[in-house]
Amino acid sequence: MLNIEKLNKSYGTNKALTDLDLEVKKGVIFGLLGPNGAGKTTLIRIINQIIDGDSGQIYLNGETLAPKHISQIGYLPEERGLYKKMKVWDQMLYFARLKGLSQIDAKSKIKFWLEKLEMSTWRDKKIEDLSKGMAQKVQFISTIIHNPPLLILDEPFSGFDPMNAEIIKNEILELKGNGTTVILSTHRMESVELLCDQVAMINRSRKILDGTIKEVKSSYRPEVFSITIDQNKQPIPAEWAAKQEDSSYHFTLPLSGKTPNQLLHELMEYGEIAQFREVIPSMEEIFIQQVKSTENG
């Protein structure tokens, strides 16, 4: 769907993107992660052709990215707004027409979406009379109104209450089911784990991580096990820093070159194993760990 090769962009002496490669496959939800100022917004703006990269190639469905592709991309920026004095209907019509829809097409699409999200009664309300969540829904519809095969959502859930966030989440999943490719940029790691098939992490203008959630997680297994032992036969070594709770001891141990079975075998010396579980890092932990390690390195 989207291929980026050796993309560079700098502002004066500041590097915003360095030799960035990215491949987003069709029909996936692609998580774009990274701390503030990492270069995400720059990347998204370049894909949207708001700004140009200094060097590198971008291909959309095999074609070099060009102004004609504007109608194939839907973009919900993190900082977004609507014309406060404009009515919901007029606003959507304007955005849809700017994306290249004909008047008739645009009107029937708007009608469809207003009905789907149960917003038909708002069509003649001005944006300034809507609640923040309502306005966000209008914004979301405006983004997807032209059925873009590529959807770029920057923090799509900010401003929504949990109810509406759920509605939007389901819409995103439904769009994915219809073959839409979604690039999701967010800081909310729980929605990344929930929604994304694939992720890439950017820090300090460089890509530091890339792959499916499973791949990322397994490659960042710290090989540490969380262990609970009841009834000690032998005293638990003090360097394990076990926490005692009645007769149970909780602690974590790294494999340190052993296989899990070997470790388990050793532990059986100390007592009854109540729990032996590999510690799998959350995306959040991987995120923090990765950012820290690149900051230090």
Judged by beta carbon, residue 55 or residue 247, the one nearer other proteins is 55
Judged by beta carbon, residue 45 or residue 207, the one nearer other proteins is 45
Residue 73 in tokens: 């991309």
- Least separation in angstroms between residue 59's CB and other proteins is 19
Q: Determine which residue in the list 73, 138, 150, 283 makes contact with other proteins, applying CB under 8 A.
A: 73
- Least separation in angstroms between residue 79's CB and other proteins is 4
Q: Determine which residue in the list 36, 62, 81, 246 makes contact with other proteins, applying CB under 8 A.
A: 81
Q: Determine which residue in the list 30, 75, 113, 287 makes contact with other proteins, applying CB under 8 A.
A: 75
- Least separation in angstroms between residue 81's CB and other proteins is 4
Binding of other proteins by 86 (CB under 8 A): yes
- Least separation in angstroms between residue 190's CB and other proteins is 26
Binding of other proteins by 156 (CB under 8 A): no
Q: How far is CA 152 from the centre of its chain?
A: 10
- Least separation in angstroms between residue 84's CB and other proteins is 7
Judged by beta carbon, residue 76 or residue 165, the one nearer other proteins is 76
- Least separation in angstroms between residue 115's CB and other proteins is 23
Q: Which of residues 231-260 bind other proteins (CB under 8 A)?
A: none
- Residues in the interface with other proteins (CB under 8 A) total 27
Binding of other proteins by 142 (CB under 8 A): yes
Residue 283 in tokens: 């995306």
Distance CA 88, CA 110 (A): 10
Binding of other proteins by 99 (CB under 8 A): yes
- Applying CB under 8 A, the span of 89-97, 117-125, 161-169, 175-183 interacting with other proteins comes to 89-97
Distance CA 154, CA 196 (A): 14
Q: For other proteins, what does the binding mask look like between residues 27 and 66, x meaning CB under 8 A?
A: ------------------x--xxxxx--------------
Distance CA 148, CA 144 (A): 6
Question: Which residues in this chain contact other proteins in the complex, by CB under 8 A?
Answer: 45, 48-52, 67, 70, 73, 75-77, 79-86, 94-95, 97-99, 142-143
